[in-house]
A and B are shown apart, each in its own frame.
Chain A
C-alpha cells in the first residue's frame, strides 16, 4: 500500500530534495540552495532597501535565518517562497532602521497621489529601450521603480521580475490576494506612466481628460 501511494504521489522537486538533505545535516545541499537563490534574494533586498550594503546584509541574514529555522519549514509552500518571506522581512527591518521617522510596512494603505487611471497615453517605439545604452537604461529603470512606494515595487518585483504567482506573492508578503492584484495593477500602470517621458515617440502624446 505504501509503495502504491509512493508511486501515485508526485516525485519531490529538485528543490525539495535539497531542502530535505539540508534538514538532514547535508551542508553541501544547503550551499546548493544558496547558489540557486542568492541572486534573487539580492535583487529583492536591493529593491526594498535601495542600499547596497543593506542588501548584502539581508542576503547573509536571510540565508542564516533559513538555515537556523529549516526544521520549521513545513514543505507546504515552495522553499523559495518561504525564503523570500524571510528576506522581505529582513529587508523591511533594515529599511525601518534607516528611516525610523517613517513607519515602513507593506500592508499600509498606500496614498501616492496617483491613481490607476492613465493620464497620458503616448505610443512608444517598437523597442524603446534600444535608444539608450545599458548603463543609461539601468539608471532610468532604477530611478523609475525607486519612485514607487515599497509596497508597490515589492509586489511588482516578485510577480513580474522574479516570476512568483499571485498566491506565492500573497504568501511571501502576507497580503491578501486582492491586495496583491490591486497593487500589481497600480504598480504596472504607474511605471508605464513614468516611463512615458523616456520611451514615448516624439509628438505622440495624447492627454486623457
Chain B
C-alpha cells in the first residue's frame, strides 16, 4: 500500500468504518510508515481536541433569555394563526 492510498482511506480508518481486511492492510502500512503514522495520530488528536473543547459555550443567562424569546415568539405565532405562516 502506498501513502496516497492510505490517505484515501484515512476517514474510514479513523471512524472505524472499514472491513477487517482493509483495516489490517492499513495497520500494516502504519507499522512501517512513520509519516502516515504521525498524520493518522495527529489527525485523531485534532478531532479529539475539537470534540472535548467547548469553543462556543452558551452561558445559562443567555440560554434562558433565548428560550424565553423562542417561547414568546412561538406563542405569538400560534395566536396569530396559520395566515401568518
47-85 of chain B: CB within 8 A of chain A:
47, 49-53, 55-56, 58, 62-63, 66-67, 69-71, 73-75, 77, 85
Q: Given A38-B63, A60-B69, decide whether A142 and B50 contact each other with a Cβ distance below 8 A.
A: no
Enumerate chain B residues within 8 angstroms of A60, measured Cβ to Cβ: 66, 69-70, 73
Report Cα–Cα, A68/B53, bound state, in Å. 33
163-198 of chain A: CB within 8 A of chain B:
181, 184-185, 188-189, 191-192, 195-196
In the complex, which residue of chain A has the Cβ closest to the Cβ of B66? Answer: A59
In the complex, which residue of chain B has the Cβ closest to the Cβ of A118? Answer: B39
Chain B contact patch, size range: 20 to 34
- Are A42 and B58 neighbours in the complex by a CB distance under 8 Å? yes
Is B22 an interface residue when CB atoms closer than 8 A count as contact? Answer: no
Please report whether the interface of chain B is mostly helix, strand, loop or mixed according to DSSP. helix
> How far in angstroms is the closest Cβ of chain B from A81?
18
- Are A55 and B70 neighbours in the complex by a CB distance under 8 Å? no
Enumerate chain B residues within 8 angstroms of A46, measured Cβ to Cβ: 55-56
Q: Given A38-B58, A67-B77, A118-B39, decide whether A184 and B11 contact each other with a Cβ distance below 8 A.
A: yes
Contact partner of A188 (CB less than 8 A), chosen from B11, B35, B55, B77, is: B11
Q: Given A123-B38, A123-B42, A161-B50, decide whether A64 and B55 contact each other with a Cβ distance below 8 A.
A: no
Binding site for A on B (CB under 8 A): 4, 7, 10-11, 14, 35, 38-39, 41-43, 45-47, 49-53, 55-56, 58, 62-63, 66-67, 69-71, 73-75, 77, 85
